[in-house]
Structure 1
Amino acid sequence: MPIRWGDMDAFGHVNNTVYFRYMEQVRISWLESLDIASEETSTGEGPVIINANMTFLRQLRYPGDIDCRMSVGALGRSSVDTRFELRRADMPEVLVAEGGAKIVWVNYKAEKSVPLPEAVRALMV
């Protein structure tokens, strides 16, 4: 992903909140690749983030590109842990930030967690 000029703040580096947007984009791309939108539409259930965290190790500055990688961790009854690593594309050996997010499968109308559907669980293993 490109680092955009608007990602920087008054201190001349990428604002810490933008790291979460990078993580979000990778997570959304992953969920789209699983093609679970039909599952959400037909059942009224789908993913919700219940927490997210980030450890900032290095500053990012414009211009440049980042490489953000996501991995799937532990699967629970209704949840899945995800982990993220961000690096500058031109310095792949340097870890810039690392973080994670917990995704919970919920019934949107009831606003309650429900078990991960077996079809979705199989895609996450």
Structure 2
Amino acid sequence: MRASYIKDLATWSSEFKFCVQVSVRFSETDMYGHLNNTIPFTYFEHARIEFLKEIKLMNNWLDPASDTFPVVADLQCDFAKQVFFDEVLMIYVKAAAIGNSSVDIHYMAQNSEGDIAFTGRGSMVQIGRHTGKGVPWTDEEKLLFTN
């Protein structure tokens, strides 16, 4: 892997604890059955939301009375192997670094043989619903990302 956010692949990949399973749908492929290069971002979104639900952080944001919600500030994907129609992938998610109001989230997709198909990372920022500006994580929220 050449991704700049991965210093040591073995260590990096061993730190993932949460994952979701996805199956590559026909509509997500080109005429050769190859996964369209935009689809991993959809998989990242699905996995990220399920991760945030799992750690109980999504609940507050879904409340219409909540003063904060998350936005994705940047997102990237690095491809390692081709992916084809009907493959089953495990999409792993972890919080790699927690900032004042942001979190750097990393992703890893493995095929059924355990090979890494693609990786990714992105920053998510918690912002104020009325101000549109970053809102710092509470100590409790920071703990949710690290447990």
| Fold in common (TM above 0.5) | yes
Corresponding position: 1:57 with 2:57: no
**Deviation string, structure 1 residues 24-58 (Cα, Å, up to 9, x no partner):** 11101001112234423343202111000001111
Superposed CA RMSD: 1.4
> 1: distance between equivalents of 2:138 and 2:66?
10
Alpha-carbon distance, 1:21 to partner: 0.7
Rate the CA distance shift 1:37–1:66 in 2: closer, same or farther, 3 A.
closer
**Deviation string, structure 1 residues 45-86 (Cα, Å, up to 9, x no partner):** 021110000011111101220011112111111111111111
Q: Where does residue 5 of structure 2 map in the other structure?
A: none
Corresponding position: 1:74 with 2:84: no
Alpha-carbon distance, 1:119 to partner: 2.2
Question: TM-score, length-normalised on structure 2?
Answer: 0.77
Q: Where does residue 108 of structure 2 map in the other structure?
A: 85
* Count of equivalent residues: 123
- Contact 2:26 / 2:33 at 8 angstroms: preserved in 1? no
Query: For structure 1, which runs of at least 5 residues remain unmatched after alignment?
Result: none
> 2: distance between equivalents of 1:48 and 1:27?
12
> 1: distance between equivalents of 2:138 and 2:74?
21
Q: Where does residue 57 of structure 2 map in the other structure?
A: 36
> 1: distance between equivalents of 2:73 and 2:124?
6
Runs of 4+ in structure 1 displaced over 3 angstroms? Answer: none
Rate the CA distance shift 1:38–1:14 in 2: closer, same or farther, 3 A.
closer
